[in-house]
Amino acid sequence: MNTQSNTVPGSVVGSQGIEVAPMSATRPLYWSVRRELWENHSIYTAPLIAAAVYLIAYAISLIWLPTNMREVWMPHTMREMARLKPTDSLIGLAMPYAHAAMLIGFAAFLVGIFYSLDALHGERRDRSILFWKSLPVSDRTTVLSKASIPLVVLPLFVFAVIVIVQQMMRLLSIAVLVLNGGAAAALWTRLPLSEMELVTLYGTIALTLWHAPLYCWLLLVSGWARRAAFLWAVLPWVAIAVLENVAFHTSYLGSLLRDRMFGFGAAAFDLKDKNGVPVDTHFIPLAQLAPGRFLSSPSLWLGLLFAAACLAAAVRLRRYQEPI
């Protein structure tokens, strides 16, 4: 009896002359990212839940609550807002939209933190690392796919959710205002929502780049720590900062960590107008964006170098790691 030998990609299958196309270099990365999305539903459910909660609360504030409670979301009634200065009325209109973006963005930040802490630790804890290492997927591809979640996938998804939520808020508001009079609806058209979305996109990209060393550090610790990954990620920095303060009476490390967490706004935006007046962060005009200063910031590039070093170390570490 004739038998057919096993074939490999790129070889001729049997006597049919069928050639199997070789797999592209990016295909394993694509499926690795898909695997992360399949296994970690919180990547998209948490921002969606935050968006749904805020949208429901906003709809209730427009439709059911009395006028005096409605002013929690809209600082002035439409009639009062019509008498305000253009800048003040614009900030009042933009405030609920900015709060929606902040809430969804904060939920995504928490998801990114906890995902990065568990990304490499979880597969060692449940021993699934043995199965994934048996597949023809390199450690570099695996680590890059996990890093792409907080650095690429989550920011893009969150921006899309913010845009959809803000558009739905606008439609709800227009419907309510039309029922209360055409003048109020005409006033609402003054809100430059497309400009706000461009600022949100720029801010999302800038914040992701600024927080890249944070996510990559957590990935590295996730691949190294046998247990209590959060403590191993945080306590060394706290201990060094306390030692510096006690021994040298300085707080350089503390200032550096605080700037890495919260300092992206000062680097990415001009938070004062041309007259030196602070800009209300609920509405930042396009003129206040400072991409040139942000991209030339030494803190940004030093942070990205640190992030690259953490990823390289995580790839090397995973080659020799065994289940916990």
- 253/230 Cα distance (integer angstroms): 19
- 129's tokens: 């690392």
C-alpha 58/C-alpha 184 separation (Å) is 18
CA-CA distance, 312 to 144, in Å (whole number)?
10
Between 110 and 181, where is the model more confident? 110
pLDDT grade for 194, boundaries at 50, 70 and 90: confident
Q: 154-158, 303-307, 319-323 — which is least confidently predicted?
A: 319-323
Residues whose CB falls within 8 Å of the CB of residue 13, separated by 6 or more in sequence, listed in order = 7, 19, 20
Average confidence (pLDDT) over 195-217: 95
Nearest to 165 by CA among 58, 286, 282: 58
pLDDT tens per residue across span 86-144: 566 678 788 899 999 999 999 999 999 999 999 888 787 777 777 777 777 788 888 99
Residues 8-66 pLDDT 10s: 444 444 445 555 455 566 788 888 888 889 988 999 999 999 999 999 999 888 777 54
pLDDT band at 206 (very low <50, low <70, confident <90, very high): very high
Instruction: Give Cα 254 distance to the centre of its chain.
Output: 24
pLDDT digits (tens, 9 = 90+) for 228-255: 889 999 999 999 999 999 999 899 999 9
Give the model's pLDDT for residue 281: 81
pLDDT digits (tens, 9 = 90+) for 267-301: 899 887 777 778 878 888 888 899 999 999 999 99
**70-80: per-residue pLDDT in tens?**
443 443 444 45
What is the per-residue pLDDT across 164-177, written as a single tens digit (0 to 9) for each?
999 999 888 877 77
pTM of structure = 0.82
First-to-last alpha carbon distance for the chain, in angstroms, is 49
- pLDDT at position 73 is 42
pLDDT score for 86: 53
- Report residue 156's pLDDT band, with 50, 70 and 90 as the boundaries: very high
DSSP SS3 for 228: coil
- Residue 122's pLDDT is 78
Once rounded to an integer, what is the mean pLDDT over residues 153-167? 95
Give me the pLDDT at residue 210, please: 96
What's the maximum distance between 2 C-alpha atoms anywhere in the chain? 94
Q: How many CA atoms lie within 13 Å of 90's alpha carbon, on the beta-carbon side? A: 15
